[in-house]
Amino acid sequence: MSLPGGCQEAQAPPSKRVDLKPPQRKVRRSQSLLATVDTSCGSFEIALDTRDSPKTVSSFVHLAREGVYDDTTFHKIVHNFVIQGGDPLGTGRGGPGYSVDEPPPGRVEYTRGTVAMAKTAVEPPGRSGSQFFVVTGADAGLAPHYALLGEVSSGEDVVARIARLGDPASGQTGTPLATVVIRKITVSEG
């Protein structure tokens, strides 16, 4: 398969086990934070929602600074729905060794560009570990059960490039047509 322009061929990095404690430092609700996601298909930025999701953002920042996201993949790419990454195991079953509970705002809608934390169907609304997803369809049609992380603020073309690597034939399993590596996530004051 030929990769979309801007994507580099990449090999799946080795899985890594992570067992961290939750962060001690919390972000301030007034803080303006940007996460830059550097991938093998380019970089995009997420404006982190410190106002509505301070616990979730604090955990994400902690994981980024600990290098949990470095050399992981977007292991799930569902055509016209989401791209999902952040699993240190690369299987969709890994996490950081802890979870955070923060119910999403009741008004949340998972529309194109929304970034939220993934969870299993049996976990309560708002529970998260390290896995996150970016909505690539107009509206994911999800119930407000996923902790809100933020919104893609630049690099929408990169997200769309990654989304093109979803195999429409794989359905909700989201098996990617090619490996997309998250090289590093860095967080800075916005």
Amino acid residing at 160: A
- Per-residue pLDDT of 11-64, as tens digits, reads 999 999 999 999 998 999 999 999 999 999 999 999 999 999 999 999 999 999
Mean pLDDT (whole number) for 170-177 = 89
Helix, strand counts (H, E) of the chain: 2, 11
Cα(58)–Cα(53) distance, integer angstroms: 8
pTM above 0.95, yes or no: yes
> pLDDT value at position 52?
96
Contacts of 107 (CB under 8 A, 6+ apart): 144
Cα(103)–Cα(177) distance, integer angstroms: 33
Mean pLDDT (whole number) for 79-106 = 95
CATH code: domain 33-189 is 2.40.100.10
Q: Tell me the C-alpha to C-alpha distance, in Å, between residue 19 and each of 23, 48, 95.
A: 12, 24, 8
> pLDDT value at position 190?
75
> pLDDT value at position 1?
66
- Per-residue pLDDT of 139-153, as tens digits, reads 999 999 999 999 999
Contact at 8 Å (CB) between 74 and 182?
Answer: yes
Contact at 8 Å (CB) between 39 and 162?
Answer: yes
pLDDT-above-90 percentage for the chain = 90
> pLDDT value at position 2?
77
